[in-house]
A and B are shown apart, each in its own frame.
Chain A
Amino acid sequence: MSARALGLLGLALLPLVFLGLFFAWPVASILGLGLRDGGVLDVLTSADTWRLVGFTVGQAAAATAVAVLAGMPLAYVLARCALPGMGLLRVLIVVPFVLPTVVVGLAFRALLPDGGVLSIVLANAFFNVAVVARTVGGLWAHTDRRAEEAARALGASRWRAFTSVVLPAIAPAIGSAAAVVFLFCATSFGVVLMLGGARFRTLETEIYLRTVELFDLPGAAALSVLQVAAVLAVLVIGAVARRRRETALALRRSVETARRPVGGEWAVVAAACLVLVGLMVPVIGLVARSLSGGVDGYLALAGQGDSNTLQVPALETVQNSLRAATDATLLAMALGVTSAVVLSQVRRGRRVLGEALDVALMVPLGVSAVTVGFGYLITLGDLPVLVPLAQALVITPLIVRTVLPVLRAIDERLRQAAGTLGANPLRVWREVDLALAGRSLVAAAGFGYVVALGEFGATSFLARPEAPTLPVAIGRLISRPGVLNNQMAYAACVLLMLVTVAAVVVIERLRTTAVGEF
């Protein structure tokens, strides 16, 4: 084995050891704990379980379909249209994705008080439109427009050219986006808990309910096993789709492919505008709701809510959130960047190794945050830093997905040129990779920070009552009676949203390429 391969293996150890210690072990423990008591078969053979699976898959599939349909016009506009206000559009569509689940849940509850399945599907789709628009749009912007023009010249209608030339070219991105979105929707926790209550339950919320309220560990463990198996299957499908996407492309610079829309293309632009309005309605509704009782809710943030619902003043939870998110981001950057470096360096012959690491890094995204949180409690319960660790686990895959495409886009010969000029491998990394990907690293960090800030599932499990984060505090405020609590919750949501939007604006300014996936 060469020194280079050894070095890569050494680098790969860091994320792998972290995953083993802070993901595999807790999850395995909780599963083991549940499985040991038997009764798993009962759960797996019960009709209730399969109704649950059916609902989980059904709502996820429906939400994925809605997200893909809504995301496509946006992807088209992002990729192909040179129109004023594109920067703003980019910012606006990414806001829903990084909004904390609690905020989204609350927003849809304000919008559709009767809720039900429709609100769950819409809320999950709302979250993920950005994933579709950016993943597909990123690829679309870099595909050669001339293939389409050749089809038109050969007599194909605009629609025919789209279905026979463009669609096959961007299909891998659609597939990969759909797989990720499906994953997010199937394991979505905060939204379903808030909108479904006890009536509509998915595997994820059922695991939570059984663990926390029924203390039915074997049942929860059995469901977790089921969920992990399903998640792995989806991830493998996604990895296969991605592999095709990265090998089969003749990429062009995006500026060459964007131009002013003409004729029928304006219809697509109109559809995109409609989607955008749809995305903004819950956000605006939330702001309106927070101001419905004047600024009382905002003023109350200095306190602890009706009859001391919170153990600390709400503003203090902001501090907790910022601190935890900072720690989580630093940790996740260390893990994510090393992983991205390893993945970008794995040679074609050893693609399987790279795919394995890639999938391993994505698994935490799909495993029940509740399972992870509970696993942490029984294995690592004495550690004081559980919240940042869990958050780092959640955001590392996002950081990898943001940085990796940029590193992969760097021509290997640029590194070789630096090498022949006397730069050692470390120096090559600093002078070429870091210099070229620096901005995207900062963007990835900002992105991870925002998501960590809004993380609800695992954090709600792990945050100590005397030190909740802002989303956890919102969850608590909304679950207790009291007008003031309600107003505080909405005000806190707006606060969280503002922080999020500010961060997204900064990230957008730093973006150098649109190839990143989220």
Chain B
Amino acid sequence: MGLELSGVTVRYGATEAVSEVDLSVADGEVLALLGPSGCGKSTLLRAVAGLERPNAGQVRWDGTDLSGVAVHRRGFGLVFQDGQLFPHRDVAANVAFGLRMHGVDRAARSRRVDELLELVGLDGYQQRRVTELSGGEQQRVALARALAPAPRLLLLDEPLSALDRVLREQLAVDLAGLLRQTGTTALVVTHDHDEAFTLADRVALMQAGRIRQVGPPDEVWRRPADEEVAGFLGCTTFVPGTASDGVVSSVLGAVDLPGTADGSVRLGLRANALRADTEGSVRGEVVQRLHRRDHARLLVRLDVVASPVEAVAPVVGPPGTGDHVHLVLDPDGVAVIHPSFVDSRP
């Protein structure tokens, strides 16, 4: 059964941080709560942990209402963005803290600490001071600490946001593997799509205190509920299109999008939806060219669309600023928005 939220509302004075949220996390599932900063996702997480009292609605675990259950009795682990390790204790004592609170004896504690430190790749760090660890190491210790008492649910509040990019990507992969390996039920709050899609079985999109869409990562990515959601997921240009037999045609050409229901749709274009290609049917003029990590990002003025659109080109070679360029639609960068989309709320 796992975690169920129904009609959860949290208000701070006159502002409503979380509005009537319904959500469920099944046993063993990892759900990512994705949204821009200030959308209320951390507040929702805190309400689940018991650190915030909802003004309305229910938080249930396996059907039992948790409103009267104090934080320390919920059995939910919590990992903060910046670790929040106990500065006066060494690594082993930090990891053992929860076990100590649950009355686990010394020998069993020590075994469990070793086991977890090995799991997070910090074997041999037992006696290290936590203040001497790097950010990534601190976050691994925080994870081990939260996992040690085998929580029913693991809550992760922007667990990787404080780390630099390379470390973040590495740790996201490690964390995803670890959550699968231990079969942990988890709720991850993040503002980073990559992180959400790497970690989660399902993604819940939150904006302005409300859940806008819930679904598997690829579905949310490819079929956002509306333009606002699509905008948050990286779509910068929207054009109307008509779907027929899995092919959507628009002013920018036709593109294969199997599974799209027939009828009129809107296409949300990410930067990589348009690719420089001499065979391309759309013609435009490059207004700006920027180097990104593994491609060149173009800003192209088209005749058929009012504002300039983004497109990608190989890092080496033309076109440069001022050049004319041919573009082709790439289905990988296109999201489909059905006008009458009925969102799949749980």
Chain A residues in the interface with B (C-beta under 8 A) = 2-3, 349, 411, 413-414, 416-425, 427-428, 431-432, 435-436
Contacts and interface: CB of A to CB of B under 8 A. Distances in A.
Interface string B64-75: 000000111111
Contacts of A2: 53
Given A427-B101, A432-B86, A435-B88, A417 B149 contact: no
B80 A423 contact: no
Given A2-B53, A411-B84, A436-B88, A420 B97 contact: no
Given A422-B102, A423-B101, 9 more contacts: A3-B70, A416-B49, A416-B71, A416-B78, A417-B145, A420-B49, A421-B149, A427-B101, A431-B86
B53 A414 contact: no
A425 B71 CA distance: 9
A127 to B, nearest CB: 35
Interface string B85-123: 011100000000110011000000000000000000000
Interface of B: 13, 49-51, 53, 70-78, 80, 84, 86-88, 97-98, 101-102, 145-146, 149, 151, 155
Contacts of B72: 419-425, 427-428
Contacts of B80: 413, 417
Contacts, number: 67
Query: Which 7 pairs show the lowest CB-CB distances between chains A and B?
Result: A421-B98, A422-B101, A420-B78, A419-B71, A413-B84, A417-B84, A423-B101
Contacts of B53: 2
A414 B146 contact: no
B70 A424 contact: yes
Contact of B77 (A349, A411, A414, A420): A420
A170 B151 CA distance: 45
B115 to A, nearest CB: 17
A421 B145 contact: yes
A466 to B, nearest CB: 48
7 contacts: A416-B84, A419-B70, A419-B71, A420-B74, A420-B155, A421-B145, A436-B88
A427 B71 CA distance: 13
Contacts of A424: 70, 72
Q: Would you call the interface of chain A mostly helix, strand, loop, or mixed?
A: helix
Contacts of A428: 72
Nearest to A419: B71
Contacts of A425: 72
Contacts of A3: 70
A418 B74 contact: no
A421 B97 contact: yes
Given A420-B146, A421-B101, A414 B84 contact: yes
Contacts of B88: 435-436
B304 to A, nearest CB: 48
B86 A414 contact: yes
Contacts of A435: 86, 88
A421 B49 CA distance: 11
A461 B154 CA distance: 62
Contacts of A431: 86, 97
Given A416-B51, A431-B97, A421 B146 contact: yes
B75 to A, nearest CB: 8
A314 to B, nearest CB: 45
A419 B75 CA distance: 10
Contacts of B51: 416, 419
A2 B71 CA distance: 13
A418 B76 contact: no
Contacts of B149: 421-422
Contacts of A417: 78, 80, 84, 86, 145
Given A2-B53, A427-B101, A420 B71 contact: yes
Contacts of B84: 411, 413-414, 416-417
Nearest to A417: B84
Contacts of A420: 49, 71-72, 74, 76-78, 146, 151, 155
Contacts of A423: 72, 97, 101
A357 B149 CA distance: 39
B148 to A, nearest CB: 8
Contacts of A418: 86, 97, 101
A6 to B, nearest CB: 13
A415 B158 CA distance: 18
A425 B145 CA distance: 19
A3, A423, A425 pick with most chain B CB within 10 angstroms = A423
Contacts of B13: 349
A187 B148 CA distance: 57
A2 B67 CA distance: 12
A423 B13 CA distance: 29
A351 B289 CA distance: 53
A332 B98 CA distance: 34
A413, A416, A421 pick with most chain B CB within 10 angstroms = A421
B2 to A, nearest CB: 18
A3 B68 CA distance: 11
A424 B73 CA distance: 8
Contacts of A436: 87-88
Contacts of B102: 422
A455 to B, nearest CB: 34
A424 B145 CA distance: 17
A421 B87 contact: no
Given A411-B84, A416-B51, A436-B88, A421 B70 contact: no
Contacts of B75: 422
B136 to A, nearest CB: 18
A2, A3, A417, A424 pick with most chain B CB within 10 angstroms = A417
A32 B315 CA distance: 89
Nearest to A428: B72
A466 B298 CA distance: 94
